[in-house]
């Protein structure tokens, strides 16, 4: 991955990263099918990861504290099941007023600030993820589609 990509993920906002991904898509002449999916998917993930990064409460899908947002961490969260888990973790954390379901230390968990889930929630509901009941599954076709989206994003970064 390019050094510029690492710098972008370390400091840029959601819009700047999404714009960079969109521009990279255009230079690669990806199929419109993928182009229509990559930017909204990236924006949905970043709408949660950027606030976690900025609040120094960023964690990986295994719940371990991570110091900075990298393209690799972004790709780890781009797994559709991981993203669904992230949405429910943030939802429960918003309700509790502290970061739950992670291995961050107590002081870090208490530093958590509520994160707006509108963008991620709207994205997931478009792909029939039940946002009321975490244990309900989503169609495997949606999982497979997002594996393809993740692969396109990986090629761009």
Task: Report pLDDT digits (tens) over 100-138.
Answer: 999 999 999 999 999 999 999 999 988 877 677 677 676
Mean pLDDT for the chain overall: 91
How many residues are listed for the chain in this entry?
157
Task: Give me the mean pLDDT over the 41-67 stretch.
Answer: 97
Domain count, the chain: 1
Q: For the chain, first and last CA: distance in Å?
A: 6
Q: Are 36 and 26 in contact (CB under 8 A)?
A: no
Q: Return d(Cα 119, Cα 135) in angstroms, integer.
A: 21
Task: Report whether pLDDT(74) > 70.
Answer: yes
Q: Return d(Cα 102, Cα 58) in angstroms, integer.
A: 10
More confident residue, 38 or 2: 38
What pLDDT score was predicted for residue 157?
A: 85
Domain that holds residue 133: 3-156
What pLDDT score was predicted for residue 28?
A: 86
Q: Which of 20-34, 36-50, 86-100 has the lowest mean pLDDT?
A: 20-34
What pLDDT score was predicted for residue 30?
A: 79
Task: Give me the mean pLDDT over the 74-84 stretch.
Answer: 93
Q: Are 53 and 68 in contact (CB under 8 A)?
A: yes
Task: Give me the mean pLDDT over the 4-11 stretch.
Answer: 95
Which percentage of the chain shows pLDDT scores above 90?
A: 69
What tokens appear for 105 in the block? 């230390």
State the residue for tokens 């419109």.
32
Task: Report whether pLDDT(47) > 90.
Answer: yes
């Amino acid at each position: 991955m390019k050094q510029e990509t690492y710098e972008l993920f370390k400091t840029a906002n959601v819009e700047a990263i999404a714009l960079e991904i969109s521009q990279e898509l255009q230079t690669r002449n990806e199929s419109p099918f993928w182009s229509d999916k990559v930017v909204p998917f990236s924006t949905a993930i970043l709408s949660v990861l950027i606030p976690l990064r900025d609040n120094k409460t960023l964690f990986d899908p295994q719940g371990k504290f991570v110091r900075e947002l990298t393209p690799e961490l972004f790709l780890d969260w781009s797994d559709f099941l991981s993203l669904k888990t992230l949405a429910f973790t943030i939802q429960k954390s918003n309700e509790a007023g502290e970061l739950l379901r992670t291995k961050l230390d107590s002081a870090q968990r208490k530093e958590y600030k509520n994160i707006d889930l509108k963008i991620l929630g709207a994205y997931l509901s478009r792909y029939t993820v039940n946002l009321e009941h975490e244990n309900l599954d989503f169609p495997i076709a949606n999982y497979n589609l997002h594996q393809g989206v993740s692969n396109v994003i990986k090629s761009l970064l």
